[in-house]
Amino acid sequence: MLRQFSRAMTKHSLVDRKSYDFGVGMSLHSAEIHMVTTVNMHDGTGVTELAEELGTTKGAVSQLVGKLVKKRLLMKEADPEHGARVIIRTTDLGKTASDNHMAFHREHDRDFVEYMSQLDDVSYETIRDFGKQMNLWMDNYLK
């Protein structure tokens, strides 16, 4: 069983390193498009919220947001209610990339989503708990 999951994690790592053009004329890596999509889903969010949502550091979020601002996928603006806080939003180009990214996943994940939807509640909870345990397992390697 662990061999199967190890193979899946290895393949995920390979997929994670690929870049794709989501219809905006530039290739984006997984971290980039997931940041754009997360910002798009949370219309007007801050660095702290993004770090919590993505499970990363505020420094990593700030760096990636800066890169995506330069690519014209995200924009930063001052929060009118909290002077020091910056609000991050998608640009029209970023919204296009995010929408195409979601369409990409609907197409590529269809079979897996169908498989998961056919599971009974007990099987689904078992898989969900297994996923949590895998995360804890990997957290130990990152300490």
Domains (range + CATH), the chain: 2-108 (1.10.10.10)
Residue-averaged pLDDT of the chain: 93
pLDDT band for position 123 (50/70/90)?
A: very high
- Look up the pTM and report it: 0.82
List residues bridging with 85 in a β-sheet: none
Could you report the per-residue pLDDT of 6-28, keeping only the tens digit for each? 899 899 899 889 999 999 999 99
Could you report the per-residue pLDDT of 69-112, keeping only the tens digit for each? 999 999 999 888 887 889 999 999 999 999 999 999 999 999 99
CA distance 116 to 124: 7
CA distance 17 to 63: 18
